[in-house]
Amino acid sequence: MKPSIQQFTICSGKGTVEIGDFCFFGLKEGGGHRGGSIEFQARTNNSIIKIGNKVNTNNNIICIAANYIEIGDNTLIGQNVTIMDHEAHGISPDKRREIGEIGSVIIEKNVWIGNNVIILKNSLIGENTIVASGCVVTGKFPKNVIIGGVPAKIIKTI
């Protein structure tokens, strides 16, 4: 089944974006619907963004892969969420116009990502985890926990 799209959504870049069945992108009742967008950008030839089945997003999502990003089945994503598997620019002053370190992002099944979350390279979010609004995720988190903060840490076990 094709995804249901309620906010302008674009798949761009040179790589592959795979979208599962029964996905819903954007929400007219959600904030920032008008004038916003959702973008899945598989930036390089070998980049892959893999979106599972029944993934639902709110509005204004940006997901950029230089390598690999996977979003598991039944994941819910709040508004204004950024997911990137790389550093957008190199650290060294003479490399700032080049892409920085590249990793991957794995979001397992049934994860709930709150509003205004940033998920950075080399992150793994375990199954059934809740990601609190406003946090910055970097690193690996087990299944069945609530994480939050800057940087994110485990707040509670579910």
- pLDDT of 108: 98
Q: Residues 70-88: pLDDT tens digits?
A: 999 999 999 999 999 999 8
- How is the chain split into domains, by residue range? 4-157
The mean pLDDT value for 37-60 works out to: 97
| Paired sense of beta strands 145-148 and 153-157, if any | antiparallel
pLDDT for the residue 40: 98
pLDDT > 80? residue 37 = yes
* Chain centroid offset of residue 73 CA: 13
Which of these CATH numbers, 2.160.10.10, 3.50.50.60, 3.40.50.880, 1.10.630.10, describes 4-157?
2.160.10.10
pLDDT in the model for residue 93: 86
Tell me the pLDDT band of 1, cut-offs 50, 70 and 90: confident
Q: Kindly indicate the confidence band of residue 17, based on its pLDDT and cuts at 50, 70 and 90.
A: very high
What is the tens place of the pLDDT at every residue in 94-128? 888 878 789 999 999 999 999 999 999 999 999 99
pTM of this structure: 0.94
What positions carry a catalytic annotation?
Answer: 89
